[in-house]
Amino acid sequence: MKRLFFFKHYAALIRINGAAALVSARTYSDFTTQATFEIKKCDVYKLDEAPATQVVMTRDEGLQYYRTMQTMRRMELKADQLYKQKIIRGFCHLYDGQEACAVGIEASINLTDHLITAYRAHGYTYTRGGTVKEIMAELTGRRGGIAKGKGGSMHMYCKHFYGGNGIVGAQVPLGAGVALACKYLGKNELCVALYGDGAANQGQIFETYNMAALWKLPAIFICENNRYGMGTSVERAAASTDYYKRGEFIPGLRVDGMDVLCVREATKLAAEHCRSGKGPILMELQTYRYHGHSMSDPGVSYRTRDEIQEVRGKSDPISMLKDRMLSNNMASVEELKEIDVEVRKEIEDATLFATTDPEPPLEDLCNHIFHNSPPTEVRGIHPWSKLKSVS
């Protein structure tokens, strides 16, 4: 005789009198709704307080962080595949390994706050409100892309997100300009300006520190230190690798960027600092990227495969969060696998759209230059008016 028991959550298959029976092992009510975790202490510079080392995470928060990081990871792996198939062309810089940075930052600021980054931007486009479908279609240069197929990997934008910027370090002074607007308009908003360890040596960044400190701008400057610039380790490129102290007169934090909770708590303190009118703050997130600098960089000529695998094994942000949730009875293996399946399906559906959606027509080439107004005449003519798409 077969007996079936259906509950809210997953089920285990057992044998009763030689027949298979489906019996619930756990219900949702069995899970811990929140737990306290001990996290790594941050290094601080010119700060009287430090982020908490004992933090609380709820089950709902953990599931949300897990889903978001898995979506970002799978999206980048799919981008890698499409690039190698020559479906994505041009430049492409992947973010896999660094997901805890984006998710931890977003967990401590508002969507009405502002964010600007460099060209490793697919993940932030997603956390800022873009959809997987829009991001994948932009990567393949299709009309349904988030920038209508005309920006590609390096130039994605959405509300309160100012891109993907291709010029190394140029997004930092732009971010200070956004922070100036926040202060001028008096909306208690802030701007997060992200850059890498390679860009940290750019002169314009130090000029921006100076202005931001003078004007007490609500700016969080974040150096995502993934240990390598374009094929060069930080030790070979910088006389001082204490990036969190580079502001000199700006307080700083050095954070474990592979732990979403560490990033969340540090960003929370940084945001409070900015909103209280104390001016800018500098954060260094110590993170790691699994792919090379770009798709033209195999990423193993200046570091070993063993190093990459060691980071994957010991510090992977998704695995770390998963282990915490399972060991504290905040989720089941089956529940997390179900999320994985849903994420994979979302990525595959988005990929289908990104490979079948039409390319933007040629007559759109010079449109969308101005916001909410038609293109102005250039020397008395519209040079793009003669362009007609033949595809």
Gap between the Cα atoms of 286 and 227, Å rounded = 8
Q: What is the token pair recorded at 322?
A: 């998963």
pLDDT at 22: 41
Find the angle CA(150)-CA(155)-CA(160) to the nearest 5 degrees: 115
In which band, very low, low, confident or very high, does the pLDDT at 308 lie, cut at 50, 70 and 90? very high
State yes or no: is 289 an active-site residue.
yes
How many residues are recorded in the chain?
391
State yes or no: is 371 an active-site residue.
no
Tokens 């390319």 correspond to what residue? 359
Q: Residue 381: CA atoms inside 13 Å, Cβ hemisphere, count?
A: 4
pLDDT at 209: 98
Each residue's pLDDT tens digit, 26-57 = 556 689 999 999 999 999 999 999 999 999 99
If one counts every other C-beta atom within 10 angstroms of the C-beta of residue 184, the result is 8
pLDDT at 15 over 70: no
Contact 193, 202 (CB under 8 A): no
Each residue's pLDDT tens digit, 176-187 = 999 999 999 999
Choose the catalytic residue: 67, 302, 303, 344: 302
State yes or no: is 264 an active-site residue.
no
pLDDT at 390: 72
In which band, very low, low, confident or very high, does the pLDDT at 2 lie, cut at 50, 70 and 90? very low
Q: Measure Cα distances from 145 to 93, 125, 263, 345 in Å.
A: 17, 12, 30, 19
> 132: which residues sit within 8 A by CB, 6+ positions away?
71, 75, 126, 346, 347, 350
Higher pLDDT, 229 or 175: 175
Closest to 180 (Cα-Cα) out of 116, 254, 104: 116
Q: What is the token pair recorded at 267?
A: 């960003």
Strand partners, 194: 222
pLDDT at 23: 38
Choose the catalytic residue: 246, 273, 289, 324: 289
Q: Which fold has domain 34-295+303-360?
A: Rossmann fold (3.40.50)
What is the DSSP-derived secondary structure letter of residue 358?
Answer: P
The residue ranges of every structural domain in the chain are: 34-295+303-360, 364-390
Each residue's pLDDT tens digit, 78-123 = 999 999 999 999 999 999 999 999 999 999 999 999 999 999 999 9
